[in-house]
Structure 1
Amino acid sequence: GKKVDVALDFEHDQWQYAMKNDVDCSNTSENLERQWSNGSGLASIKQRVRENNGQVAVEGTDTTHTVTVVLPHIKEIH
């Protein structure tokens, strides 16, 4: 891709981080799910986020590919 948009938001006691690039990723849901298990960086992201009680979403269109990560805010670290 030639362009990436990155956004970090804090709302309702959680962090949301979204990365969107301009790569043609017109994948079906089935193809996107396959990406989770092919040893890509997406598999590592999904594992680490889930270990920290978060969620990951991956979406593809004809012109973009977006990965969104949502993590709860930790108020205290012991």
Structure 2
Amino acid sequence: MDTLVKYDIQAIKDEARELVNKGAIRRHEPIYTLCKYIPGRDWVCVELELEKNEFLLRDKIIDLLGREDWSED
């Protein structure tokens, strides 16, 4: 039985934020860096969702994260 994981844009943003917070990726890296952390069978769905939301794979991770609040300010 195949299980399809649905990646909506919010799930992709959440995954990117988690990876940045862990230090696995940096904000200035291109979005396609996420492919290292998302199973290959799901990557096509991620690409389609990014395209639907007008993101390019060469865009930076920071573009996905949007506004960030800093508690130290």
Q: What TM-score, normalized to structure 2?
A: 0.30
User: Which one has more relative contact order, counting CA pairs under 8 Å at least 6 apart?
Assistant: 2
Q: What TM-score, normalized to structure 1?
A: 0.28
Which one has the bigger strand percentage? Answer: 1
Structure (1 or 2) with the larger CA radius of gyration: 1
